Amino acid sequence: MTIDLARVDAIVARKGEGPEMAIPVLQMIQDEFRYVPIEAIEHIAKTTQMTEAQLYGVATFFAQFRLTPVGERIIKVCHGTACHVGGAVGLTEAIEERLGVKTGENTPDMKYTLTSVACVGCCSLAPVVMIDSTTYGRLDRKKSVKVIDDLES
């Protein structure tokens, strides 16, 4: 896949070229493309003080960065301690069954990406699922499936 490198240049121009900007630049790249295309890393390395090794190193170290495209909506099932105790494993099973994919995968129609997260800070409402930037609390198997059904309608 080829990407529009002018968008990459615009981000670098906004954030800065110094090596300390690696994470903010990658974060903005991900906001823009919804993942970090390898072409973007190669391009930034050519045009700034950041190296390919630094950028790739950072992108693979931090859980936030994705190097492959994602679905329109990202569903994150919380697997923090409180959610684990509250039944996150069951929720995951129910959602996996509903979407027909495993955690870490995209649905074939690229509508959803199912992932996990270690605590979104809503532990008192465990178990919790975060869809894009909205948090849904006090779920169980049935309710979590209903949240997705509601998104569809």
Summarize as ranges the residues that interact with another protein (CB under 8 A): 18-24, 26-27, 50, 54, 57-58, 61-65, 79-87, 90, 93-94, 117-126, 128, 130, 133-138, 140-142
Question: Which residue in 129, 135, 123 sits closest to 95, CA to CA?
Answer: 129
Closer CB to another protein, residue 6 or residue 53? 53
Distance of closest approach, residue 98 Cβ to ligand FES, in angstroms: 20
Report the residue number, 33 or 136, with the smaller CB distance to ligand FES: 136
Residue type for 40, please? Answer: A
Residues that bind ligand FES (CB under 6 A): 78, 80-83, 119-123, 126, 128
The site partner of 65 among ligand FES, another protein, none (C-beta below 5 to 8 Å per kind) is another protein
- Residue 135 CA to residue 53 CA, distance in Å, equals 35
Q: How many Å from the N-terminal Cα to the C-terminal Cα in the chain?
A: 32
Distance CA 118, CA 139 (A): 16
**E strand spans, the chain:** 73-78, 112-117, 129-131, 134-136
- Pick between residue 112 and residue 136 the one whose CB is nearest to another protein: 136
